[in-house]
Structure 1
Amino acid sequence: MEKVRPKKHLGQHFLTDLSIAEKIAASVTGHQGVRKVLEIGPGMGVLTDFLIKGGWDLKLIDIDKESIAYLHKKYPELSENIIEADFLRYDLGKIMGGDYIIAGNFPYNISSQIFFKVLENRDQVLEVVCMLQKEVAKRIASPKGNKDYGILSVFLQAYFDIDYLFSVPPGVFSPPPKVDSGVIRLTRNGVAVLDCDEKLFFRVVKMGFGTRRKTLRNALKSLNLSDELKKDPVFDKRAEQLSVSEFISLTNKLQASWKQ
Structure 2
Amino acid sequence: MSDGNETNVAAGGHRDPDALLSRAGAAGNPDRDQHFLVDDRVLDRIPTYAADVEIDLDHVLEIGAGNGALTDRLLAVADRVTAIERDPDLAAFLREEFGDAIADGRLTVIEGDALAVDLPDHTASISNLPYGASSEILFRLLPDGKPVIAMVQQEFGERMAATPGSDEYGRLSVTAGHYADVELVEPVPPDAFSPPPAVDSAIVRALPRDPDYTVPDDEFFLDFVKAVFTQRRKTVRNGIRNTAHISGLDDPDAVVEAADEELLSKRAGKLAPEDFAALASLAHEVGLANDD
Structure 1 length normalisation: TM-score?
0.89
Q: Which residue of 2 aligns with 1:141?
A: 161
* Greater length-normalized contact order (CA 8 Å, ≥ 6 residues apart): 1
| Comparing 246-255 and 32-41, the one that deviates more | 32-41
**Distance of aligned partners of 1:24 and 1:108 in 2 relative to their CA distance in 1, 3 Å threshold:** same
Secondary structure of the corresponding residue to residue 253 of structure 2:
coil
Q: CA deviation at 1:109?
A: 1.1
User: Could you tell me which amino acid in structure 2 is paired with residue 84 of structure 1?
Assistant: E
Q: Which residue of 1 aligns with 2:216?
A: 196
Cα contact 1:139–1:149 (8 A) shared by 2: yes
Secondary structure of the corresponding residue to residue 28 of structure 1:
helix
- Aligned equivalents of 2:70 and 2:215: distance in 1? 38
Q: Which residue of 1 aligns with 2:282?
A: 253
Q: Which residue of 2 aligns with 1:235?
A: 264
- Aligned equivalents of 2:112 and 2:54: distance in 1? 26
**1:73-84 correspondence runs (5 A):** 73-79=96-102, 81-84=108-111
Percent identical pairs in the alignment equals 32
Q: Which residue of 2 aligns with 1:12?
A: 34
Secondary structure of the corresponding residue to residue 33 of structure 1:
coil
- Aligned equivalents of 2:99 and 2:55: distance in 1? 30
Q: Which residue of 2 aligns with 1:90?
A: 117
**Distance of aligned partners of 1:15 and 1:88 in 2 relative to their CA distance in 1, 3 Å threshold:** same
Q: Which residue of 2 aligns with 1:38?
A: 61
- Aligned equivalents of 1:38 and 1:163: distance in 2? 20
Q: Which residue of 2 aligns with 1:111?
A: 134
What are the superposed Cα offsets for residues 162-220 of structure 1, whole Å, 9 maximum, x if unpaired? 11101011111110111110111001113599432223211210111111111111111
Cα contact 1:165–1:184 (8 A) shared by 2: yes
- Aligned equivalents of 1:77 and 1:57: distance in 2? 13
User: Could you tell me which amino acid in structure 1 is paired with residue 265 of structure 2?
Assistant: D
* 5+ long unaligned stretches in structure 2: 1-22
- Aligned equivalents of 2:158 and 2:183: distance in 1? 10
Q: Which residue of 2 aligns with 1:25?
A: 47
**Distance of aligned partners of 1:71 and 1:194 in 2 relative to their CA distance in 1, 3 Å threshold:** farther
Cα contact 1:31–1:187 (8 A) shared by 2: no
Q: CA deviation at 1:61?
A: 0.3
- Aligned equivalents of 2:61 and 2:280: distance in 1? 34
1:131 paired residue among 151, 172, 175: 151
Q: CA deviation at 1:34?
A: 5.0
| Comparing 12-21 and 250-259, the one that deviates more | 250-259
User: Could you tell me which amino acid in structure 2 is paired with residue 67 of structure 1?
Assistant: L
1:169 paired residue among 186, 189, 209: 189
Pairwise CA RMSD of aligned residues? 2.3
- Aligned equivalents of 2:155 and 2:64: distance in 1? 20
Structure 2 length normalisation: TM-score?
0.80
- Aligned equivalents of 1:71 and 1:258: distance in 2? 52
Is the radius of gyration larger for structure 1 or structure 2? Answer: 2
**Distance of aligned partners of 1:56 and 1:245 in 2 relative to their CA distance in 1, 3 Å threshold:** farther
- Aligned equivalents of 1:51 and 1:205: distance in 2? 36
User: Could you tell me which amino acid in structure 2 is paired with residue 106 of structure 1?
Assistant: L
